[in-house]
Amino acid sequence: MTQPDGIMLQTTPNNPTLPGKESRQNATTARTSPRILPALAAFALAAVFSTAAHAQVVGPKGRDSAKTDREVFIEAARAYLGTPYALGGSTGRGIDCSGLIYRAGLDGPDIQLPRTVESLSSYVEHINDQSRDRGDLVFFNTTGKLSHVGIYLGDGQFIHSASDGPKTGVIISKLNESYWSKSYRFTGRLFNPSAPSGPAVTDNRPGSGAGGVTDSTLALNMFPFSGEIGLRANVTGAALWDFMPGEFPLRGATLGGEITWAKNTQLLPGLGAGITWDSRTESLSVPLYASLAGVQGIRLFMGTQLHLLAASGLSKKPQFPGIIGLSWTSPPVHALGQNVRFYQSMEYSWFPDETSNAGFRLSTGVTLSYDL
* Positions marked catalytic: 97, 148, 160
C-alpha distances in angstroms, 222 versus 16, 225, 295?
46, 10, 6
The 3-class SS string of the chain reads CCCCCCCCCCCCCCCCCCCCCHHHCCCCHHHHHHHHHHHHHHHHHHHHHHHHHHHHHHCCCCCCCCCCHHHHHHHHHHCCCCCCECCCCEECCEECHHHHHHHHHHHCCCCCCCCCHHHHHHHCEEECHHHCCCCCEEEEECCCCEEEEEEEEECCEEEEEECCCCCCEEEEEECCCHHHHHHEEEEEECECCCCCCCECCCCCCCCCCCCCCCHHHHCCCCCCCCCCCCEEEEEEEEEEECCCCCCCCEEEEEEEEEEEECCCCCEEEEEEEEEEEECCCCEEEEEEEEEEEECCCEEEEEEEEEEEECCCCCCCCCCCCCEEEEEEECCCEEECCEEEEEEEEEEEECCCCCCCCCCEEEEEEEEEEEEC
Quick check: 340 and 368 in contact, CB under 8 A?
A: yes
